[in-house]
Amino acid sequence: MATRDGAYSLVPLLKQPRIDPTEQIEIDLYIVGSGDVRTAQLFVVHSHPDLVSDFGTIDSSLAPLTEQEYDPDEGILTGEAAEDSEYTTTNELVQNGCHFPLSPALFESPATNRDLTLPFGASYLEQKHNGDPPITYTVPTDNSVAPGEYALHMVLSYETGTGEIKQDAHKIPVHVRNTREQHNRGITIARYAAAILALLSLLVTAAAALINAGLV
């Protein structure tokens, strides 16, 4: 089977771009593209180490799949169970960050058997699994971090099927709210809660009126 030189892009989705001190930064990660990959790693580097209380953790909804291998001739996945996989247990620290090795099998289409099921167009890393993103990075902010604009960097580094090293880097901005912004946020939440309670009260009143009128 001919080698297909891999070309992939990292797609980070920041769940909440504006946070309070001590709140967690959560980033869902997808990797899209095509082609063969020999090795791959995901790096997270903090350009503002004072933003966070530690360097965070990387979790994957792909744990049962990370050590499986794709057989292109048979169109099936085989391999070790997740409990035996080095890819589910290794989140090594790097300077001001951490990295997570990714199994090359994750870059393959999740076909089960070509005789029974048509292969999906996307790899495991392009789609959700049981409603969860393939990878999620979570890191808590420090309680003493000053309000302002910050950023962290994510880099997908991989070796293609022909031995070429490629990288896809992203800068992810994060805003830490000041006291005034936190206060305004509390007011906004209180207003939403009051509006919901008022609506529920109206619905209860209307239902009671209908019952009393014998319409229901």
187 & 173 share domain: no
159 & 184 share domain: no
pLDDT in the model for residue 126: 82
Q: What is the pLDDT of residues 5-27, one digit of tens each?
A: 788 999 999 999 899 998 999 99
pLDDT in the model for residue 161: 86
Q: Say yes or no to pLDDT of 132 above 60.
A: yes
197 burial level (CB within 10 Å; 0-12, 13-18, 19+): exposed
169-195 burial, b at 16+ Cβ within 10 Å, e below that, comes to: ebebebebbeeeebeeeeeeeeeeeee
The enclosing domain of 33 has a CATH number of 2.60.40.680
Residue 89: strand, helix, or coil: coil
123 & 203 share domain: no
* Structural domain includes residue 1: no
Residues 6+ apart with CB under 8 A from 66: 60, 82, 85, 87, 88, 102, 103, 105, 106
Tally of domains in the chain: 2
Q: What is the pLDDT of residues 57-69, one digit of tens each?
A: 888 777 544 444 4
pLDDT in the model for residue 127: 79
Query: Among residues of the chain, what percentage have pLDDT more than 70?
Result: 61
Q: What angle do CA 3, 127, 36 make, to 5 degrees?
A: 10
Domain containing 213 equals 178-216
133 & 199 share domain: no
Locate all alpha helices (DSSP H) within the chain, ordered by sequence.
179-212
* Structural domain includes residue 2: no
211 & 107 share domain: no
How far, in Å, CA of 11 to CA of 169, rounded? 10
* Structural domain includes residue 15: yes
134 & 182 share domain: no
169 & 190 share domain: no
105 & 142 share domain: yes
